[in-house]
Amino acid sequence: PTTDQLTVAQARAQMEVSTRFLGRPPRVLRVEDRMIPGPAGEIPIRVVTPIGADSSSDPGPPPVLVYFHGGGWVVGDLSSHESLCRALANASGAIVVSVGYRLAPEHRFPAAAEDAYAALAWFAEHATEVGGDPSRVAVCGDSAGGDLAAAAALMARDRGGPALVLQVLAFPVLGFDPENESYRLFAEGHYLTRGEMLWFWDQYVPDVNDRRDPYAAPLEAAEVSGLAPALVITAGHDVLRDEGEAYARRLAAAGVPTTLTRYPGMIHSFLRRYPFLNEGKRAVDEIATALRRSFGLTGPSRGVDGGG
């Protein structure tokens, strides 16, 4: 059944079961769970240190990628996207830190967005505590996590926060327009349905007036100039395709260095399923290459196993 036909507990259990079918995650140098301070208590994080971090030719500590998992702000956790975070760490050479932000409906907007920014701000000052370089920090997220990555980048600009080297938004939620073309074309039968997205919005931002807040819907931002450079990845058969591409166009028009890549044959969340999809592997490599370039690391992406 689709998520909108389930209870919240059932939806979370469904995500947990699906994670088991992703197979054995890539080997990395080290995985560590810890807590960092947040606006409403401690935030759990999972720190993934890539293969080769202890013998890299790059001078100094490795850069840091702060990752926000997808799941409609309702499902997903540190484990659901660990395999992807490991792959990104190995391929990019960066320490990848997955953030266990507060979930809806127990914690509605702006809880997740505030947690996302708090985590970003913390790493910009304390990355050395996980072995990383606080001067080279990027954000990345998929789906609802893409929304949080974009919101964190907006907050960093608006609040005089850390300077990001890159924001990576993979098939992100960026606005509330369930009547746009991609919502109509792919409303059913393409994995993520229109009904599911409406359900997710109802859990996270039940007040429709709040859905125009740019920290919930970055497409609503009055001004997008001065933001971090962006890589925006969309799936060709995804209800969220058009809003991701609209945001990329806005960023580029405002002078923000932006790369937009549509993966034509893909459905929503194909990146998390990279073990089974060649295009998913290609997207991991594209993200890793963009990160390495932004971090000033030499050489191409090193592959999901860290071996090049």
Q: Which residues are catalytic?
A: 143, 238, 268
Q: How far is CA 78 from CA 3, 27, 43, 122, 247, in A?
A: 20, 17, 11, 18, 27
Residues 135, 139: Cα–Cα separation, whole Å: 13
Query: Edge-to-edge strands of the sheet including 230-237?
Result: 30-38, 41-49, 95-99, 64-68, 137-142, 167-170, 230-237, 258-267
Residues in the chain: 308
Contact of 261 with 279, CB cutoff 8 Å: no
Which token pair is 138?
């990027």
- Cα–Cα distance for residue pair 175/217, rounded to 1 Å: 4
Helix and strand numbers, DSSP H then E, in the chain:
8, 8
Is the distance from CB of 112 to CB of 139 less than 8 angstroms? no
Please classify residue 18 by burial: count the beta carbons closer than 10 Å to its beta carbon, then call 0-12 exposed, 13-18 middle and 19+ buried: middle
Q: Are 216 and 202 in contact (CB under 8 A)?
A: no
d(CA 19, CA 103): 18
Contacts 24+ apart (CB under 8 A), 53-59: 53/29, 53/93, 53/95, 53/131, 54/29, 56/93, 57/298, 58/93, 58/297, 58/298
Distance CA 72, CA 58 (A): 37
Instruction: Judge contact between 254 and 224, C-beta under 8 A.
Output: yes
